[in-house]
Amino acid sequence: MTLRQTVSFLMDRLKRWLDATSIQQRLHYLTLLNVIGLALLLGLSLLSSTLKDNYFDSIEGLNSQQRQLQRFNTETARLQAAIQNYLNSSDENLLLQIDKATEQLFQEFSQLENSKEQYSENLLVLHDSLQNFVAGYRELKQLNKDIDKTYQDSLLDPSQHAAELLALIIGGTNPKKTNSLIEPASVVAVNAFIDALLKMNTYYAKRETTISLSTRSSLERVAQLAPLLESLALGDLERKSLHKLQQQIHTMISGLGSLQRNYAIRNQIMENRIEASQRTIARTASTLDKRYAEIEENLRGRYSQRLSFINAFAILLSLLIIGITFLFSSLVFNSIRIPLGKLLRTVEAFSLGNFNHPVPEVGQNELALLAGGLRDFRLSAMQRTLAENALRDSEGRFRALSDMSSDFFWEQNEMLQYTAFSGQRAGDLLSRNVLMLGLRSWENPRNTGYEEAWEQHRQTVESHQPFRDFEFALQMPDGKLLYLLSSGDPVISMTGSFSGYRGTAKDISAQKAIEAEIRQLNQTLEQRVIERTAALRQSNDQLSQAMEQLVQSEKLASLGNLVAGVAHELNTPLGNALVASTSLRDQVHEMEQAISAGTLRKSALTEFMSVCEEGCRLIERNAYRAVSLVANFKQVAVDQTSAQRREFNLLQTVQEVVATLSPTLRKQQHSLTIDIPERIVLNSYPGPLDQVITNIVTNATVHAFQPGQAGALLISASSVGENEVVILISDNGAGIPLDKQARVFDPFFTTRLGQGGSGLGLYIVYNIVTSLLGGHIQLVSTPGAGTCFLIHLPREAPHLDDSTSNVHGSPQAHVRRAT
């Protein structure tokens, strides 16, 4: 299947599904589709929001790590400066701050170590650098303690002993030897020692190499002068003191060397451990900062890409949802609009009085109720039209009868005085002063006799009671008596008060004369009745025999028309089969000649087989068509010639009858529409019903249209309750004149007398419907606008005995006829 065929197939299936679905469910599905679309768009919106939140959370985490790294870098730099300050000042408070800062630095680094694995290498470098930094700080801390101890033990304490010894030496020198050689040497030694002490303290404070060298030089001078002074000393005490001084000076020189070495080691640790670790931390932090920037850029790119994809997908999904919703909405709208438009056109046709317009099939939904309502409306409208026509006819007949009859109407006021008379007879009596206005009935001077009756009548009317058949007599101007029979009813106003009488009066003068004559002829009446009854019975028998013969003739004529139609239909398939068989015979002869001559070719044989196959298919198809026509003809013929009761589908039966009538209808260029639901099933007599439909349709083709005029006929049906079906057969022909509508069902009545019409077609229809089928038939016709027959049938026909099973017999009792 191509794409177009697939789409067409799916659209067709969807339309069928919509036709089989109620309108309420269609609207529910449409609402559900919109809700699903909104839910999908909401889901995409939530996905976009989640992606945005994840992006900003990632950026925030990255920035937090970056801030931690920057703080870590800054804190290590500050810690380095603090260590430098500590080395320069040896403040214990500063040492506590450095220890606390170091512990906090490790805590912050532990937070950095919780980062993703992609930073593990850099974090390992940071960890090693921090470990190296702290290890260097701890070595510096220990070395600084060693420096203080060396300074105390090897410099400060020996210097104090040396100072004491110098003081002892200077104080113990003999004053007499002031001008001797020891005094200048002592002064030089003391000055050198003092200079060494000053420089030593300065070196300890400033750690300058030049000061260290100068201090060493001063101490070495003191050490050089000590042996000289020892040789110049006069006493043992001086010599021992100078010897000890020399030892202390050597201790100080050795301590100064140790202090120099420790300072060198401290500088080396500061440079190789502290400062190098800080530089490594700074480089690693810079590297991580760059990586953070790259990661942030990648996150921003992925976020933009995913957001663009979600937005594009949302746009495509929105367009798809809008398209699907629009398509489904259009299908739902058309599934409602198209059948509703058909129903509206039907309503317009009904409003214009065209009740022959068929009611369309709209499926099993809410519109089916409207279609059923239209069928019921058409039925009720037909019945209302029938009732209105009957009412107009009744009013016309009543008016005509009132004018032609001897009856008249009268009215009295609350005083029982005549106020009005109507009718031709009343006008004549008023003109001759037999009836008089303004008088009470018993006050008329022309009243004759009936005194007791008048007295009783007066009491009745004065008590405002109705009365019937009050007989009285009036004397005419010529002296003859006018006998009247009056009836009346009191008139009660809206307030409940008595307003007078209204009634009728009938001239029974002729009846009175006949009664007198009857009394005279009573003795000879019985003999005359016997003679006339015998004559009427003989005439009735002759009439019944003649009518039965005509009915049989009508039946045979109808069957003959059926045979003629079927024969015409059979002519085409049989002719086609004959042509195909003749062609095949010629092809066989040619093939025999080719075989005999030895000129047969494969292509000729292939062509012969193809022709044979095509001919066989043509013969088979036309033979099946002929068999179908014959079977249909047999079914209809059997049904129309018998009155077998069975259960049948009304639509199928009507279609079979119409199939037999189709040749005649096509020949006369008439169209026939069937508008019958498939679900109507009857338990009745299909044969007589076929005869009814055939007679009505044939009657329409003969009488409703002029020669050459193309007409339209309609056969429809609808259910009325659970037990009744109404069949409507209508045409758009010339209609039936009003003065002839009351006689269409009478036997031998025809408008084509002498032109082949027997006048029994509708009479047979009437008898079949009212007797065997157990229903009644009505006629609705407007001259110039067509004719409609309404056939009311029970779903189950009454069970009749053999005496009533003659489909063409006389009508049974209690027959209802349309007027």
Given this model, what pLDDT does residue 816 score? 34
Domain membership flag for residue 608 = yes
* 344 vs 503: CA distance, rounded Å: 49
Enter the tokens of residue 649: 């589908």
Mean pLDDT for the chain overall: 78
Given this model, what pLDDT does residue 29 score? 82
Enter the tokens of residue 685: 């007599």
Whichever domain contains 528, its CATH number is 1.10.287
Given this model, what pLDDT does residue 286 score? 79
Q: Most confidently modeled of 193-197, 577-581, 770-774?
A: 770-774
| Residue 723 neighbours by CB under 8 Å, 6+ apart | 794, 795, 796
How many CB atoms are located within 10 Å of the residue 634 CB? 11
| Banded pLDDT at 177 (limits 50, 70, 90) | very low
Given this model, what pLDDT does residue 379 score? 80
Three-class SS of residue 749? coil
**Do 148 and 258 share a domain, yes or no?**
yes
Given this model, what pLDDT does residue 725 score? 95
**Residue 772 to residues 644, 693, 695, 726: CA-CA distances in angstroms?**
11, 15, 16, 16
Domain membership flag for residue 600 = yes
Do 72 and 105 form a contact (C-beta atoms < 8 A)? yes
| Banded pLDDT at 808 (limits 50, 70, 90) | very low
Given this model, what pLDDT does residue 200 score? 78
Domain membership flag for residue 533 = yes
Whichever domain contains 713, its CATH number is 3.30.565.10
Looking at residue 174, its amino acid is: N
> Which has more pLDDT, 740 or 222?
740
pLDDT (tens digit per residue) in 18-36: 777 777 787 888 888 888 8
Q: Most confidently modeled of 33-42, 81-90, 707-716?
A: 707-716
Enter the tokens of residue 656: 């079979």
Of 261, 295, 329, which residue sits at a domain end?
Answer: 295
* 192 vs 215: CA distance, rounded Å: 9
Given this model, what pLDDT does residue 382 score? 78
- Is 267's pLDDT higher than 60? yes
DSSP H helix total and E strand total for the chain: 17, 12
> Which has more pLDDT, 668 or 634?
668
Do 489 and 503 form a contact (C-beta atoms < 8 A)? yes
Given this model, what pLDDT does residue 804 score? 45
Of 591, 610, 641, which residue sits at a domain end?
Answer: 641
- Is 175's pLDDT higher than 60? no
Nearest Cα neighbor of 142 from 81, 205, 86, 183 is 86
User: What's the total number of domains in the chain?
Assistant: 4
* 114 vs 119: CA distance, rounded Å: 10
Poorest-confidence range of 592-606, 656-670, 678-692? 592-606
* Packed helices 236-269 and 157-171: angle between N→C axes, nearest 10 degrees: 160
**Residue 796 DSSP label:** B
Distance separating the N- and C-terminal Cα atoms of the chain: 63
Poorest-confidence range of 122-136, 475-489, 799-813? 799-813
Whichever domain contains 175, its CATH number is 1.20.120
Do 558 and 695 form a contact (C-beta atoms < 8 A)? yes
- Is 717's pLDDT higher than 90? yes
**Do 637 and 651 share a domain, yes or no?**
no
pLDDT (tens digit per residue) in 523-534: 665 666 676 677
Q: How far is CA 751 from the centre of its chain?
A: 59
**Do 232 and 264 share a domain, yes or no?**
yes
Q: Most confidently modeled of 78-82, 264-268, 278-282, 467-471?
A: 467-471
Radius of gyration, alpha carbons of the chain: 69
| Banded pLDDT at 489 (limits 50, 70, 90) | very high
Do 412 and 457 form a contact (C-beta atoms < 8 A)? no
> Which has more pLDDT, 799 or 818?
799
Given this model, what pLDDT does residue 84 score? 65
Over residues 83-89, mean pLDDT: 66
Domain membership flag for residue 588 = yes
| Banded pLDDT at 291 (limits 50, 70, 90) | confident
Given this model, what pLDDT does residue 805 score? 45
Q: Most confidently modeled of 77-91, 151-165, 450-464?
A: 450-464
**Do 622 and 687 share a domain, yes or no?**
no
Model pTM above 0.95: no
**Do 154 and 284 share a domain, yes or no?**
yes
Strand partners, 747: none
pLDDT (tens digit per residue) in 435-470: 889 899 898 998 988 889 999 999 999 999 999 999
pLDDT (tens digit per residue) in 346-379: 888 878 878 777 888 777 777 777 778 878 888 8
375-383 long-range contacts (CB < 8 A, ≥24 apart) are: 375/716, 375/718, 376/718, 376/720, 377/350, 378/350, 378/716, 378/718, 378/728, 379/718, 379/720, 379/726, 379/728, 379/790, 381/350, 381/355, 382/355, 382/728, 382/778, 382/780, 382/788, 382/790, 383/778, 383/790
Q: How much of the chain, in percent, has pLDDT values that exceed 70?
A: 77
**Residue 585 DSSP label:** H
**Residue 389 to residues 393, 580, 595, 765, 816: CA-CA distances in angstroms?**
6, 59, 81, 22, 16
Whichever domain contains 490, its CATH number is 3.30.450.20
| Residue 262 neighbours by CB under 8 Å, 6+ apart | 143, 146, 147, 150
Domain membership flag for residue 254 = yes
**Do 489 and 534 share a domain, yes or no?**
no
- Is 12's pLDDT higher than 90? no
| Banded pLDDT at 117 (limits 50, 70, 90) | low
Given this model, what pLDDT does residue 742 score? 85
Q: Where are the beta strands (DSSP E) in 665-740?
A: 671-675, 681-684, 712-720, 724-731
Pairing outcome for strands 786-794 and 724-731: antiparallel
Domain membership flag for residue 541 = yes
Of 622, 641, 660, which residue sits at a domain end?
Answer: 641
Do 365 and 21 form a contact (C-beta atoms < 8 A)? yes
**Do 626 and 661 share a domain, yes or no?**
no
Given this model, what pLDDT does residue 137 score? 75
Three-class SS of residue 772? helix
Enter the tokens of residue 652: 């199928």
- Is 113's pLDDT higher than 60? no
**Do 729 and 657 share a domain, yes or no?**
yes
Range of the structural domain that residue 229 is part of:
144-295
For CA atoms 462, 464, 470, 476, give the dihedral sign: positive
**Do 818 and 679 share a domain, yes or no?**
yes
Domain membership flag for residue 17 = no
pLDDT (tens digit per residue) in 400-448: 655 555 578 899 999 999 999 887 778 888 888 888 898 998 989 989 8
Given this model, what pLDDT does residue 633 score? 58
pLDDT (tens digit per residue) in 552-571: 555 555 555 556 556 656 66
Domain membership flag for residue 685 = yes
How many CB atoms are located within 10 Å of the residue 360 CB? 17
pLDDT (tens digit per residue) in 215-253: 788 888 878 877 877 777 667 777 787 788 788 888 888
- Is 392's pLDDT higher than 50? yes
Looking at residue 379, its amino acid is: L
pLDDT (tens digit per residue) in 297-333: 887 888 788 888 888 888 888 888 888 888 878 887 8
**Do 736 and 804 share a domain, yes or no?**
yes
**Do 792 and 720 share a domain, yes or no?**
yes
**Do 537 and 567 share a domain, yes or no?**
yes
